[in-house]
Amino acid sequence: MVSTLVKKAADPLGVFDSGLGGLTVVRAIAHTLPGEAMVYFGDTARLPYGNKSPRTVRRLSLEALKFLEHFEIKAWVVACNSASALALHVLTDEATVPVLGVVEAGARQAVAKTRNRRIGVIGTRATVASHCYPAALERLGDGFQVTSAACPLFVSLVEEGWVEHEVTRQVAAEYLEPVRRAGVDTLILGCTHYPLLKKVISDVMGNEVTLIDSGEALAADLLEQLTARGLLAPKRPVEHRFFVSDQSDRFQVEGQRFLGEAVIGRVEAVDQSDLPWYDRPSRTRGHREDA
Ligand code: DGL
What's at 227, amino acid-wise? T
Q: Is 141 left (phi over 0), alpha (psi -120 to 50) or beta?
A: left
Alpha helices in 116-197, H assignment, sequence order: 125-130, 132-140, 153-159, 166-181
Q: Which of 80, 150, 151, 157 does the annotation list as catalytic?
A: 80
Residue 78 to residue 139: CA distance in whole angstroms: 20
CB of residue 134 inside a 6 A radius of ligand 1: no
Distances (CA, A) of 162 to 113, 158, 174, 175, 240: 29, 6, 16, 16, 28
The pLDDT of residue 278:
81
Q: Cβ distance 86 to 97 under 8 Å? A: no
CA 22 to ligand 1: nearest atom: 1
Does the beta carbon of 61 lie inside 6 Å of ligand 1?
no
Count of other CB atoms within 10 angstroms of residue 247: 15
| 80 Cβ closer than 6 Å to some ligand 1 atom | yes
Q: Across the 291 residues of the chain, what is the mean pLDDT of every consecutive 10-residue run?
A: 68 96 96 95 94 95 93 96 97 94 97 98 97 97 96 96 97 98 98 97 98 96 95 92 85 84 78 75 51 33
Helix (H) or strand (E) holding 203, with range, is helix 198-205
Q: What are phi and psi of 215, to 5 degrees?
A: -70, -40
- The answer to whether the Cα torsion of 255, 21, 79, 55 is positive or negative is negative
The verdict on the CB of residue 24 being under 6 Å from ligand 1 is no
Nearest CA among 67, 102, 287, 57 for reference residue 195: 102
Q: How far is the CA of 4 from the centre of ligand 1 (A)?
A: 30
Q: Is 191 a catalytic residue?
A: yes
The reply to whether ligand 1 has any atom less than 6 angstroms from the CB of 50 is yes
User: Among this protein's residues, is 151 annotated catalytic?
Assistant: no
CA distances from 142 to 81, 134, 145, 184, 272 (A): 24, 11, 9, 16, 47
20 C-alpha to center of ligand 1: Å? 9
| Residue (of 70, 93, 91) closest to 79 by Cα position | 91
Ligand 1 atom 8: residue of nearest CA: 50
Q: Is the CB of 49 under 6 A from ligand 1?
A: yes
Locate the ligand 1 atom nearest the alpha carbon of residue 48 and give its number.
9
